A = this chain, B = another copy of it.
């Protein structure tokens, strides 16, 4: 893991991160991407997603507010990204909550090569065929520990699994990394999970492996969360400070602040 160096690379190269994401968080993930130092672009029309995805540094698919045309666009974009060698990231928001979401996430995993799945415990457990409970898009509980779940999901899904929670766990099936950075206020703002996915997309465009990208993104985002929590009076002021903190992340200090465990 070289979080600081990869953050510096993001800021220098400004990779384009193409996001087909949900209506609730589009502004938030665009601003998080931009604050970190990459360039976001949102495009969902079937007429343009292949063109856009092919020239991106990474493609982020987030199923938080689905409908038919969007599902088609996600599949098309993912295949075009695969063909162009652009890494693809899936955020299976609400998988387990409705059949449409579960099936769409599975379809994307079947029809395209996904580099990283980033979700909460219940979402990832659902896709890995393990037990979990979800209320709307909130994970209520999973049978496995985070580390077990990440490793099992990585094996079952054939990609890196990034399971976020109070402590995050990232695994490629062989190695598993725990990331303890972050702050409880992250759970009080809608879309912080989606933001962590977008940030993972930024790191995917520059990191040496998807596992590194996923772990480094959670370190960077977690450290920003820790900085944003200082002086925050609640979710509103924390949310604002989070963009400031992403923008002000110091690559030179980042690795020493990482709270990781293998």
Contact = CB atoms under 8 A, between A and B. Distances in A.
A234 B239 contact: no
A23 B45 CA distance: 13
Q: Is the interface of A mostly helix, strand, loop or mixed?
A: mixed
B41 A66 contact: no
Nearest to A49: B98
Given A42-B64, A248-B234, A24 B24 contact: no
A170 B164 CA distance: 42
Interface stretch (A26-34, A149-157, A202-210): A26-34
Counted per complex, copies of this chain come to 3
B136 A34 contact: no
Nearest to A64: B42
B248 A244 contact: no
A235 B245 CA distance: 9
Interface in A214-262: 233-237, 239-248
Contacts of A99: 47-48, 51
Contacts of A82: none
Contacts of A25: 27
Interface string A84-101: 000000000010011111
Given A42-B23, A48-B98, A98-B48, A243 B247 contact: no
A113 interface: no
A189 interface: yes
Contacts of A16: 135-136
Given A35-B188, A40-B136, 14 more contacts: A22-B42, A25-B27, A27-B27, A30-B190, A31-B239, A35-B234, A43-B94, A44-B65, A45-B66, A47-B100, A48-B100, A51-B99, A236-B242, A236-B245
Q: Which 3 A-B pairs have the closest CB atoms?
A: A234-B244, A236-B243, A41-B136
